[in-house]
Amino acid sequence: MKFNKILLTIVLTGSIIGLVLLAYNNMISHSKITELERNQDELNHLISDRETAIEGFKNENTKLNSQNEVLKGSVEELEGIIKEMESTISKIEKSKSEIGTQFDVLNQPIVFPFDDPVGFTYFSQVKDGDWIKFKPYLYETSLDHISGYIQSFVKLTELTKASLSENQISEIGNLDWSDQVIGSHNFLVDLRGGIQDSRLLLAKSNYELAIYKYMNEEIDEETLNVYKDLFSEEKLAYENFIKDATYGD
């Protein structure tokens, strides 16, 4: 009988210990589950932040691609303008060969303010011989330079979010200060001069054609004078451009 009591006591004690251990294990498991849930929440936040960052990068990349398309469109538009100018010049030259008699105003020379330069100037006045750079056959050269700069900026735009290595700088090209500041200024002066020269040639051609029509009594003197005034205005504009144009070196 006494042995049975002892055995029962041992069994009850073991059961209590088992329950205590089970409760402890449950508490540990619950703690680990809570920690795992907290870690999962943090991971979800990180994933959400990463997705937001990726979406922002995609939006920024879309904007950059849009800017690149605009720049490429500008290059194509500029090339189209040059081709139109070349076609106009060709027509002007043909028109000139078909017209014989001209008014004296057509034979008046362009006035060039060729003064001897004194010392060194950062942007010197257009000098004797520089005007030849305004001729049509050099338009394409200036356009190629401008296209090169624009394409360089397209590449540079694509790398705005990253630091440039020496190899990248070499690959992009045209990042030298003198190329971007002085060179681009001079190329634009050449191009503007060419455009101004074309405007003058076009006005002169229109005036010559008006003379031809006037001689054949197709227009009256009042209409003829309109073309004469337009030619005189373009001639003055060309002279003023040459007077104000500067070249960097």
DSSP string across 216-230:
TTSS-HHHHHHHHHH
pLDDT in tens, 202-243: 899 999 889 888 888 888 989 999 999 999 999 998 999 888
Is residue 159 helix, strand or coil?
A: coil
pLDDT in tens, 44-69: 777 777 777 677 667 776 777 777 67
109 pLDDT more than 60: yes
129: left (phi over 0), alpha (psi -120 to 50) or beta: left
Q: What average pLDDT does the structure give for the chain?
A: 70
Phi, then psi, of 163 in degrees rounded to 5: -80, 145
Query: Could you tell me which of 117, 89, 87 has the C-alpha nearest to residue 200?
Result: 89
pLDDT in tens, 7-36: 556 656 656 666 556 555 666 666 666 666
Residue 123 β-bridge partners: 248
* Cα separation values, 158 from 50, 149, 163, 165, 180, Å: 21, 14, 11, 14, 18
Pairing state of beta strands 246-248 and 123-125?
A: antiparallel
199 pLDDT more than 80: yes
What is the distance between the alpha carbons of residues 204 and 96, in angstroms, rounded to a whole number?
9
Residue pair 105/231 in contact by the 8 Å Cβ criterion: yes
Most confident of 36-45, 48-57, 133-142, 196-205: 196-205
Q: Which residue has the higher pLDDT, 22 or 169?
A: 169
Is residue 175 helix, strand or coil?
A: coil
* Cα separation values, 176 from 93, 101, 152, 157, 173, Å: 40, 52, 11, 16, 8
Query: Could you tell me which of 184, 182, 178, 186 has the C-alpha nearest to residue 148?
Result: 184
DSSP character string of 128-156 = TTGGGGGSGGGHHHHHHHHHHHHHHHHHH
* Cα separation values, 178 from 145, 184, 186, 187, 204, Å: 14, 9, 11, 12, 38
Q: What pLDDT band is residue 120 in, cutting at 50, 70 and 90?
A: very low
Q: What pLDDT band is residue 160 in, cutting at 50, 70 and 90?
A: low
What is the distance between the alpha carbons of residues 165 and 103, in angstroms, rounded to a whole number?
63
DSSP state of 176: S
